[in-house]
A and B are shown apart, each in its own frame.
Chain A
Amino acid sequence: NAGVTQTPKFQVLKTGQSMTLQCAQDMNHNSMYWYRQDPGMGLRLIYYSASEGTTDKGEVPNGYNVSRLNKREFSLRLESAAPSQTSVYFCASSTRGGARDEQFFGPGTRLTVL
């Protein structure tokens, strides 16, 4: 039982390049999330998927797109990377997104955009 997995662990991009961050969970969770974490700031929600087939914008969606490929997998795409997108990206999942729902995190992807 691997929990939440993310690939890659590290990535360096040049401005304008594109890439996709992959996330998968094996806990049979319905809800999945993408966050970014910057120094001195709290985690900020980029996009989330309450259930398979649905996606919604979070607090900071600009410059990103997502795909909920199936119940297990939720990917985050940067179409044209910018230095402001240098950050640590975490994927998380939870049972069903209710009031008492607890989120579990993957190991993160450290992205640098030059």
Chain B
Amino acid sequence: QKEVEQNSGPLSVPEGAIASLNCTYSDRVSQSFFWYRQYSGKSPELIMSIYSNGDKEDGRFTAQLNKASQYVSLLIRDSQPSDSATYLCAVRGSNYQLIWGAGTKLIIKP
């Protein structure tokens, strides 16, 4: 069974610090990787996608992918209270469907 694993948290980070969220996956042929943010009671919202090994930056967000080690991470710089949410990792498998992690709850403390 293809799996995507995330630490459920909560991960507590001081305001202004860097938040680091991690995700591991089991399907070696996975091609595409996505990070979604989900506020309580709301729907998932796409933050970033990454397809190649290395880093991809978008504003305060950086996604990192290491296919050899089968992990993908999301860094949030200068964390703000508005970043407090659950972050979902999704991995596209060989059948082109997304496999989802259960999410990491992030709390930014003022």
Contact = CB atoms under 8 A, between A and B. Distances in A.
Interface stretch (B10-18, B63-71, B74-82, B93-101): B93-101
A19 B41 CA distance: 22
A98 B103 CA distance: 24
Interface string B36-50: 000000111110010
A30 interface: no
A102 B90 CA distance: 11
B4 A100 contact: no
A102 B88 contact: no
Interface residues of B, number: 23
B43 A45 contact: no
Interface in A56-70: 58
Contacts of A102: 34, 46, 49
Contact of B8 (A40, A103, A105, A107): A40
Nearest to B98: A103
A42 B49 CA distance: 18
Contacts of A42: 4, 88, 99-103
Classify the secondary structure of A's interface with B: loop
Given A99-B92, A104-B46, A105-B43, 16 more contacts: A40-B102, A42-B4, A43-B44, A43-B98, A44-B100, A90-B44, A98-B96, A99-B31, A99-B51, A100-B32, A100-B49, A100-B51, A101-B92, A103-B46, A105-B45, A108-B42
6 tightest Cβ-Cβ pairs between the two chains A and B: A42-B100, A105-B43, A43-B100, A42-B102, A99-B31, A105-B44
Interface of B: 4, 8, 31-32, 34, 42-46, 49, 51, 88, 90, 92, 96-103
